């Protein structure tokens, strides 16, 4: 079994006497992570909130009733907690009344769950995002990283895909994309058109690596800008996609600008397009590589518990830098190039504006040294 990089972060949170909240899409391994951590406790209790009996037992109960239900468990795992109305109040009651009980809470929708727990658990919890498996997590040793990167670009990082035949893996990814993708993005209270959502995701899948214009998407889908924004916001909160804004030192200048949208998992992206061809037969390798680099860097930042703000840079001449990071006054830049034949230099305008930036070109030959580390290289 693969040990997730964030596992120790969750354990540390519990040991601090805080509630650990683990967010992540369906099927990424939240339950497996929780049960792996539970092995460290003598009397863990696992509660699956997809079960209506569990939901009823946690809804609008007193501290005494909750303790009766929990019994003498020293770790309580509340899985898919967004299913329970006012779950934040119940968690607060347990945490405040019985501090000896450790609480590990998972959720597949940051919108539903955060709305229910943010206020009650202020100062009492730490949140962690569990992404699909990273290339580091699936590689037993450094010699496997390059080959596994190629696999992730087609299959993605959902657990179990590595042990399946190609045909079975692609069938499973298509099933996840069809049956699970929207399950937590849109609650029964949210009105939406599934055909439009499908078409929106397909449009976004074709545009990875390119700037996205909400007005253009709205015209293609025959919906208004506000609906486009609302759908994209919900899809992001369900961990299907994520947005990146342009980098500006003037924070006000970021507002209203174009943005890029990437997929949290490339296997899901490819399933939406029904395109699982190997890399050597594809014409979108550059875009796949950029999305791979952006999400793998995001996983690395999460796994290393780094405090980083991430962007991209683009000027009026359409010169770009794919990843810009701010961390403690340090500015890092990464340009993602699948072909290593020609190593580009940073755009002159960018270096003129940000001369102290540490710049790296990320290719399949060097991504472990540049992308999966804190190494820094000044532009020449």
Q: What is the pLDDT of residues 359-379, one digit of tens each?
A: 999 999 889 888 888 766 555
Q: Where do the CATH 1.10.10.10 domains begin and end in the chain?
A: 134-380
Residue 313, Cβ neighbours under 10 Å: how many? 22
Between strands 309-314 and 241-245, the pairing is unpaired
Q: Which of 93-97, 329-333, 343-347 has the lowest mean pLDDT?
A: 343-347
Give residue-wise pLDDT tens across range 52-79.
Answer: 999 999 999 999 999 999 999 999 999 9
**Does the pTM exceed 0.85?**
yes
Q: Enumerate long-range contacts of 220-229, CB under 8 Å, 24 or more apart.
A: 221/196, 223/196, 228/200
The torsion angles phi and psi of 339, rounded to 5 degrees, stand at -85, 130
Q: CA 178 to CA 218: how far, in whole Å? A: 23
Q: CA 260 to CA 211: how far, in whole Å? A: 5
Residue 320 or 190, more confident: 320
pLDDT of residue 252: 55
| CATH of region 7-129 | 3.40.50.300
Residue 318 or 292, more confident: 292
Percent above pLDDT 70 for the chain: 91
Of 1.10.10.10, 2.60.40.2250, 3.40.50.1360, 3.50.50.60, the CATH number of 134-380 is: 1.10.10.10
Q: Residue 360: CB partners within 8 Å, gap ≥ 6? A: 332, 333, 334, 335, 370, 371, 375, 376, 377
pLDDT of residue 29: 94
pLDDT of residue 379: 55
pLDDT of residue 254: 46
pLDDT of residue 119: 80
Q: Where do the CATH 3.40.50.300 domains begin and end in the chain?
A: 7-129
pLDDT of residue 55: 96
Q: Which of 71-85, 134-148, 178-192, 294-308 has the lowest mean pLDDT?
A: 178-192
**Quick check: 253 pLDDT over 80?**
no
Q: CA 200 to CA 196: how far, in whole Å? A: 6
């Amino acid at each position: 079994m693969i040990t997730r990089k964030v596992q120790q972060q969750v354990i540390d949170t519990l040991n601090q006497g805080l509630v650990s909240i683990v967010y992540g899409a369906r099927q990424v391994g939240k339950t497996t992570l929780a049960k792996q951590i539970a092995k460290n406790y003598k009397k863990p209790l696992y509660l699956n909130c997809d079960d209506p009996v569990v939901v009823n037992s946690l809804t609008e109960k007193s501290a005494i009733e909750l303790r009766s239900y929990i019994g003498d468990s020293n770790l309580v795992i509340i899985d898919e907690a967004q299913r329970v109305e006012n779950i934040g109040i119940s968690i607060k009651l347990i945490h405040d009344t019985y501090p000896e009980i450790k609480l590990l809470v998972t959720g597949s929708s940051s919108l539903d769950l955060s709305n229910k727990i943010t206020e009650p658990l202020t100062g009492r919890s730490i949140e962690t995002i569990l992404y699909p498996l990273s290339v580091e997590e699936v590689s037993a040793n450094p010699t496997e990283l390059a080959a596994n990167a190629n696999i992730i670009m087609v299959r993605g990082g959902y657990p179990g895909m590595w042990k399946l035949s190609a045909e079975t893996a692609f069938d499973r990814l298509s099933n996840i994309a069809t049956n699970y993708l929207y399950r937590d993005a849109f609650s029964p209270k949210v009105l939406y058109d599934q055909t439009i959502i499908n078409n929106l995701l397909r449009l976004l899948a074709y545009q990875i690596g390119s700037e996205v214009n909400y007005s253009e998407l709205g015209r293609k889908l025959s919906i208004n800008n506000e609906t486009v924004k609302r759908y994209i916001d919900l899809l992001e909160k369900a961990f299907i996609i994520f947005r990146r804004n342009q980098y500006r030192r003037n924070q006000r200048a970021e507002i209203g600008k174009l943005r890029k949208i990437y997929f949290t998992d490339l296997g899901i992206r490819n399933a939406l397009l029904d395109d699982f061809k190997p890399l050597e037969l594809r014409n979108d390798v550059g875009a796949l590589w950029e999305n791979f680099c952006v999400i793998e860097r995001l996983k690395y930042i999460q796994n290393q518990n780094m405090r980083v703000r991430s962007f991209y840079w683009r000027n009026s001449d359409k010169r770009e830098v794919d990843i810009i990071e701010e961390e403690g006054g340090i500015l890092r830049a990464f340009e993602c190039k699948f072909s290593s034949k020609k190593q580009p230099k940073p755009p002159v305008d960018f270096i003129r504006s940000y001369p102290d930036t540490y710049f790296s070109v990320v290719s399949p030959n060097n991504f472990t040294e540049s992308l999966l580390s804190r190494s820094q290289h000044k532009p020449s």
